[in-house]
Amino acid sequence: MKDFYIGYLPKAPEPTARLFRVVVAALLLAALGSAIAIAAFQNPFAASVFEFGQPRVFEGTVELDPYPTLVVVRPGRAEARVSRYLLVGEGKHGARPVVGAHRGQTVRLRGMLIYRDGDTVIEVLGGSVTPIDASPLGEATPVGLGQFELTGEIVDSKCYLGVMNPGSGKVHHDCAVRCLSGGIPPGFAVPDFEGTPAVFLLTDPAGKALPNEALRNLAARPVRVRGKASRVGATLFLAVEPSSIAPAS
């Protein structure tokens, strides 16, 4: 005859207690194994950084087209190096209202770095931009790379390059829409361009800023784009017709 356990008794019969110990141990092991498996199959976070709360001082020449950029000359042992930093404003705003009055001027500003895989952005602190007495740099000439058809994702460059992690995919759709609406430059992240992942800044065929309202509904989802690629310094651009952007099959 098997032992019968009534719940209000202070102690279960030993066979029943032993069974429950085995079951509880098995459930704990299953939960631990599931947690390890889920963690192992998750995509790793990108090696991106937002130096929040650590503002630096930068000096350089302001370019406004197609997107606000600070061109900085850094002295080196052999020759000076020219670095180009995409500029964004605080929060979900572009930098044009902050630096728009300084086209072609050399300025000093304060901002926080955002960077990922060699691409760098400065979040400009409002009220920190001051013209300085220095010769401005001439605008660089883009180097054409040819016509390409690429599959990737339209992202807001600020979040994707480091402010959010992950800054892409369905989970980031609503944030990307708000950032693009606020004037953050649109990026096009592709897993493979000439053998490596890359991020392009999207422009219209004339090389001007692409209207962000044409991209909001396509953000954070796979799309196929055909356009003309170019490079200015280390920055990649892709000139496209908005009507040519289509969901990837």
Q: What is the pLDDT of residue 65?
A: 93
Q: Are 187 and 199 in contact (CB under 8 A)?
A: yes
Does 197 sit behind a cis peptide bond, omega within 30 degrees of 0 on the bond before it?
no
State how far the Cα of 185 lies from the Cα of 220, in Å rounded to an integer.
14
Q: Between 227 and 244, whose confidence is greater? A: 227
Q: What is the pLDDT of residue 164?
A: 82
| Helix (DSSP H) and strand (DSSP E) numbers for the chain | 4, 13
**Model confidence at 81, in pLDDT bands (50, 70, 90)?**
confident
Residues linked to residue 198 through DSSP beta bridges, in sequence order: 190
Range list of β-strands (E), 179-221: 186-193, 196-203
Q: What is the pLDDT of residue 229?
A: 95
Q: Between 145 and 35, whose confidence is greater? A: 145
From 148, 145, 182, select the one nearest 163 (Cα to Cα). 182
Amino acid (one-letter) located at 172: H
Please give the model's pTM, rounded to 2 decimal places. 0.78
Mean pLDDT of 73-87: 76
- Domain 143-247 sits in CATH at 2.40.50
Amino acid (one-letter) located at 217: N
Whether residue 213 is predicted with pLDDT greater than 80 in this model: the reply is no
Helix (H, G, I), strand (E, B) or coil at 2: coil
Q: What is the pLDDT of residue 221?
A: 86
**Model confidence at 37, in pLDDT bands (50, 70, 90)?**
low
Mean pLDDT of 213-240: 89
According to CATH, the superfamily of the domain at 48-131 is Nucleic acid-binding proteins (2.40.50.140)
Mean pLDDT of 77-88: 79
State how far the Cα of 39 lies from the Cα of 55, in Å rounded to an integer.
34
Which of 43-47, 66-70, 172-176, 193-197 is predicted least confidently? 43-47
Mean pLDDT of 140-148: 90
From 158, 223, 143, 233, select the one nearest 191 (Cα to Cα). 223
CA 182-121-224 angle, to 5 degrees, is 65
In terms of DSSP H, where are the helices of 120-211? 157-158, 173-181
State how far the Cα of 57 lies from the Cα of 80, in Å rounded to an integer.
19
Which residues lie below 8 Å from residue 128, measured CB to CB, with a gap of 6+?
109, 110, 111
Which residues lie below 8 Å from residue 74, measured CB to CB, with a gap of 6+?
80, 81, 82, 83
Residues linked to residue 191 through DSSP beta bridges, in sequence order: none
Work out the percent of the chain whose per-residue pLDDT is above 90. 49
**Terminal CA-CA length for the chain:** 65
Q: Per residue in 88-141, pLDDT tens?
A: 999 999 999 999 999 999 999 999 999 888 889 999 999 999 999 888 777 788
